[in-house]
Amino acid sequence: MSARSFLAFFAVLAVVGLLAYGLLSKGATKIAIGDPVPDRVLPALPGPGHGSLAEHRGEWVLVNLWASWCIPCREEAPVLERFYRRMHADNMTVVGINVQDNGDDAIAFLREHPSTYPQLRSIGNERSAAFGSIGVPENFLVNPRGRLALIWRAPVDDTILRERVDPLIEGSR
């Protein structure tokens, strides 16, 4: 093989390798039932302070990814607040994580839709990516051992919470 042929072969190989690597590395994070919940310390919303899901180990946690510009999130907010008030005494909490949003808009949203459960804020899409999120809102039920028990990539309402979430919590008792 001449030097020129070798160079051409190497160049083609490099381009194909680069494209293949690009295709493989662009895949979204995949999470599944039974996986440990993606977690990291985040700023509390509206602040000050920080929080993480690890603080709730030993409790059932419904993680809600939301954004102020998301219209279904407005309808979902009072549903989650009702759920939290109903279940909080039963070793259950809700944690909201604001994603892909502007901090001021998120605070204004919480003024309009007050929540008594903890709220955290993720800058940009870092947490969305960790949860393999495809939009907002999305909900994830985490068992007391910190593992995913339900992945619900849509808004929840009272019926879904009663039929899909409650049985998992009650079944563990």
Partner 1 sequence: MRRAAALAVLVLTAGLLTLAAPVLAAPPRQTTVHDIEDEVMCPICGTLLELADSPQAKREKVYVAKLVVAGKTKTEVKDALVAQYGPSVLALPKASGFDLSAYLVPIVALAIAAVALAFSVARWRRDGGGSSSGEDAPPAPRGEDAERLETDLGRYDL
**152 binding partner 1? (CB under 8 A):** no
Contact 114, 107 (CB under 8 A): no
166 — phi, psi (to 5°)?
-55, -45
Site string for partner 1, 9-38 (x = CB under 8 A): ---------x--xx--xx------------
CA distance 98 to 77: 12
Smallest separation (angstroms) from partner 1 to the CB of 58? 31
Residue 44 pairs in a beta bridge with 120
Q: Binding-site residue total for partner 1 (CB under 8 A)?
A: 20
Q: CB neighbours (10 Å) of residue 48?
A: 6
Nearer to partner 1, 33 or 41 (CB): 41
Inter-helix orientation angle 103-112/71-87, to 10°: 60
For partner 1, which residue of 100, 115, 119, 139 counts as binding (CB under 8 A)? 100
Smallest separation (angstroms) from partner 1 to the CB of 106? 10
CA-closest candidate to residue 151, choices 55, 38, 53: 38
Site string for partner 1, 64-83 (x = CB under 8 A): ---xxxxx------------
For partner 1, which residue of 38, 43, 46, 103 counts as binding (CB under 8 A)? 103
Smallest separation (angstroms) from partner 1 to the CB of 20? 10
Q: CB neighbours (10 Å) of residue 154?
A: 12
**102 binding partner 1? (CB under 8 A):** yes
**125 binding partner 1? (CB under 8 A):** yes
DSSP character string of 62-92: EEEEE-TT-HHHHHHHHHHHHHHHHHGGGTE
Q: What is the binding site for partner 1 (CB under 8 A)?
A: 18, 21-22, 25-26, 67-71, 100-105, 123-126
